[in-house]
Structure 1
Amino acid sequence: MANNQWNDDNLNKLLHSMPKISDDRPSSEILERLKKDDRLKKDRRPKVKKWIPSIVAVAALLLLCLLLPSMLKGNQDMVSEPMMENARSAGKQAITTDSKAESASVEEDSDAESVDATTFSSMDIMGMKSHVVFANQNNTFSLNLGLIHEANVIPVTILIGSDRVKADLGIDKPDSVELYKEYAGIFDEESYGFDNYHPYKGDLTTSEKTVIHKLPENHGYDMAPATFSSYEDSARSTFTDYEDLKVVDEDGMPLVFDYIGKAMDFPLKRQLPYFKYVMPSGEVYLVPYENGDSSTVTEALLSMKKAENDIVKEVIPAGVDYQVTEVDGIAVVSFDSPVDFTTIPQQDVLQMIEGFMLTASNYDVQVQLKNIEQSHFENYDLTKPLPKPVGANPIWLP
C-alpha cells in the first residue's frame, strides 16, 4: 500500500509539474483543417448488397402476373349492365345533341323558302329520311324526274352540285328542260328499282312557258291508255317550272296519238294529295295520287285521311283526325284533339308533316298545323306556316 501511495504521490507531482496544453486557434481554422483531413472523407456507411433489390423486383413482377387476371375479371364483374347501358345512352345523347346543334332553321328567300345545307344530314343522323326539297338547298340544282314503277309515277328530285352544273352547262340558272337534257340520261333509274324510262325519246325545246316535245315515229307512248297516262304524269312531275306540254312530230306538226285519235297538248300542273308508295325493297316515297275530288287544297288535304286502293298508303297515322280551313292563303290543319308527337313513331310524324307540305305546295300555298303539344319537330317550327317545298324524294346524283 505504501509503495502504491508513494507512486501515486509521485505521479501527482509529475502531472502537476507538466506544462499546460492550450490551443489559441479560432474554431473556423480548426474546421477548415478537419475538412482537409483525408481520414474524414471516407464513407463510413455500410455497403448494401445491390442484388437484393433486383430479387425483390422480380418477385413482385411474378406476383403481379399471377394476380392481374383475377383483378381484371373482378373489375369487369363490378360493372353492371345498367351502368354500361347508361354509358351507351350518354354517348348517343352526346351525338344527338351535337347533330341538333348543327341543324339549320328554315329561312325564307325572295323566290321561296330555303333550308340550310345541314338539313338532310341532321335527319340522317336522327335516323329519319326527309322527303322534301327546298329552294337553294345544299347549294344544289334540282332536277325533278317522274320515274315509273309498274305503270305508277313516282316523283324524285335529283340533287346536283351547283359547281358541277355551272361547269357542265356554263349557265347560272338552268331551267328544268336544260337540266333534263344534260343529266336525265346519266341517272341510273334501275339501280333504284324503277323502270328504264328516261330520257324521253325525241327532242325537247321550249317556247315561253311551254315545253315542246318532238317525238319520232314508233315512240310507243300511245300504245295503250296506261302507257300514255304514265307519259303524261311523268312529264307533269318532271317539268314543274312550265305550264304546258305540246307534242309534235318530226316535222313540227301536232302529233296525233293512235288510241286518242287527235293531237294532245296538256297542262303540266298536277294538283293531287300525297300518299306513301312502298317499293318492293321497302323504300318509301311520297307521291301525288288521285284520290277522289281534290280540286281545292282543302279537299286534297282532307282526302289524305284514307287511300281508296292498296297501291298507296296513308301518311296520316291511325287514330289521328283533323279538319282543314283556309285563312289568308294558308291551309290550316287543325287536329280534333291535342296531338303529342312523342307518342307516334317519329318517321310517321315526319311523313305526315311533309305529306301535308307537299300537298299544299301543289296548290301554291303553305300549310300550318294546329292543336299540337310540341312547338317544334326537328327542323320545323310548328308555331307558324311550314315552308313550301319545290321537290319531293331527294336523291343525290353520283
Structure 2
Amino acid sequence: MPNDKWNDEEIENLLRDFPKIQDRRPKAEVYKKLSRKERMPKQPKRWLPLLVAIVAFLSITVLVASLLQQNGTDSSSESESSEAESTMATDEAPTEQAEPPEGPGAESGGEASLAVEEPETLRTAVYESDLEDAHILRIGLAYQGYVVPASFVVPKQLAGTAEPDSLGLYENFAGQIDESGLGFDEYHPYEGELQQVGSTISHFLPDGHSYDQGSSSTLLYLNSLEETFMDLQEIRVLTEDGETAQLSHVGTVEPIVPGEQGQSFYLIESSTGDWYMAPAYGMSAGNVQEALMALPQPPNDDYRSPVPEEVSYSVEAEGAAAILTFEEPLDFEAMDGTEAMRMLESMALTAHSYGASLTVSNTVQTEWSGFDFSGELELPLSPNRIDWPEK
C-alpha cells in the first residue's frame, strides 16, 4: 500500500470539494417529526384473570373453613348440652325401682314391652283377626259381565251402630264407593227397595229395571246379589207388589241360597290394571277336589290362573277336608311374594267356598307370611280387602 501521508491542509481542501447538502424542509416540520413518538400497542395483562381466580379461591377456602369450624363448635356445644341434660335426668331419677303391678296380666305387660312387631304380610283377603274393630262390607262389583267380590273393611266408629246388619252397611256405604275409580262398572246401589228380616233379604224390583235386558245382565244381577249378601241365608227377588219376580231369561226367580255352590277363585284384571280374586260362576267344579285341581287351567281368556306354571300339586279329599301336596318341596322364599300369596289365597278361598278345610304339605317353610303349614290353614272370610278411608 502506498504510504501517503495526509496533512491538515490537504484534508481541509478535500472537504471543501464535497457538494453542500441542503435541507429545504421547514424547521417546524423537522421538529414535529423528531418530537413524535410512535405509539406501541399495549400488551394485554394476561395475568389479571388468573390473579382474580386465585383471590376468589382463597376467599372461598377461608369462608368454608370458618363455617366448618363454627358448625363443629355448635355440634360440640349441643352434644355437651345433651350429655349434661342426660346426666341431670339420671341424677334426678328415683333410685328405687317401682314395684311391678299386681293382678292378672302383670307379667304379660312386661313381655309386651319387649315384643317386636311382626313384619307386614302380603295378604289381600279378610281374615277373622281383621274384624276385631271393624265390620266387613262385601259387595259384588261388576266388570264386563263378571262379578268380583270386594271386601270393604269399615271401622266400627264409622258404622253408626254397634252391630249393623248387612242391609244397614250396604245402604250407608254402597253409594259412596267409587266403582269406576277402582276399575269397575258403575252398578250400585241396586234399583228398587231392599228389606231385611232376620237372615233373609228381599229385593223389590221396580218397573222398567235394567236387570232383564239379556241373559248376561240377568246372571250378572243374580250373582252380584249372592256376593253382596253372602252372609245371609236367603235372598228373594220380588216385584213391587211382593210377588216372586219373573225374569225373561230365567223365568221365576227362586230364592237364592248364598254360597250353596262352591266356586274356584281365579284372577281377573280391572280397567285400572289391578288384579282381583274372582269366582268362576257357572264354570266351577262340583266338589272341592276338582275345583282345586282346576286352578292351573282358567276357564276362559278373561281369567288368569293364580298358580305359577312351574308349580304342580295333587289334591286328596277326605270328607270336608282337602289335602293339597306339592310334587316338589315348595320354597316360598324363592318365589315372588305376590304370586305366592295369590296362589295360597286362591286355594284357601276355593276350599272355604266349598265349606272344606285345607292342609298344604311338602313346603320348605313351616310358616310363611302368616300361614302355618303344620296343620290346617287359616281360611279367609272374604276376598279382595279394601280398607275404608277414615275421615
- If the TM-score is normalised by the length of the shorter chain, which range does it land in? 0.5 to 0.7
- In 1: Cα distance, 2:258 partner to 2:184 partner: 22
- 1:282 is matched with which residue? 273
Q: How does 1:50-129 map to 2 (within 5 A)?
A: 65=62, 101-103=116-118, 122-123=120-121, 128=122
Structure 1 segments of 4+ aligned residues over 4 angstroms from their partners: 61-64, 290-293
Residues 67 and 280 of structure 1, relative CA distance in 2, 3 Å threshold: same
Does the Cα contact within 8 Å between 2:184 and 2:270 map onto a contact in 1? no
Identity of aligned residues (%): 27
Counterpart CA distance in 1 for 2:252 and 2:283 is 28
Q: CA deviation at 1:238?
A: 0.8
The C-alpha deviation readout for 1:360-379, integer Å capped at 9, x for no partner, is 11012221210011111122
- The aligned counterpart of 2:148 is 154
Report the AA paired with residue 156 of structure 1: A
Deviations 1:34-55 (A, max 9, x none): xxxxxxxxxxxxxxxxxxxxxx
Cα distance, 1:244 vs structure 2: 2.3
Q: 2:186 aligns with which of 196, 206, 220?
A: 196
Question: What amino acid sits opposite 1:103 in the alignment?
Answer: E
Deviation at 1:65, TM superposition (A): 3.8
The CA deviation at 1:358 is 0.8
Q: Report the alpha carbon displacement of residue 273 of structure 1 after superposing the two structures with TM.
A: 0.7
- Offset of 1:395 from its aligned partner? 1.0
Alignment of 1:1-398 (within 5 A): 65=62, 101-103=116-118, 122-123=120-121, 128=122, 130-137=123-130, 139-165=133-159, 168=160, 170=161, 172-269=162-259, 270-290=261-281, 292=283, 294-327=285-318, 329-398=320-389
- Measure how far apart 1:220 and its partner are: 1.2
Q: Deviations over 1:78-110 (max 9, x none)?
A: xxxxxxxxxxxxxxxxxxxxxx94228xxxxxx
> Using the alignment, how far apart are the partners of 2:377 and 2:149 within structure 1?
21
Q: Unaligned stretches of 5+ in structure 2?
A: 1-57, 66-114
Where 1:298 maps in the other structure, the secondary structure is helix
Q: Using the alignment, how far apart are the partners of 1:292 and 1:150 within structure 2?
A: 17
C-alpha spacing 1:195/1:161, structure 2 compared with 1 (3 Å)? same
Q: Secondary structure at the match of 2:341?
A: helix
Instruction: Give the distance between the partners of 2:231 and 2:207, measured in 1 at CA.
Output: 28
When normalised by structure 1's length, the TM-score is: 0.66
Q: Give the match's secondary structure for 2:252.
A: coil
CA RMSD of aligned residues (A): 2.5
SS in 2 for 1:332: strand
- Output the TM-score relative to the length of structure 2: 0.67
Which stretches in structure 1 are left out of the alignment for 5+ residues?
1-60, 69-99, 105-121
Q: Which amino acid aligns with 2:185?
A: D
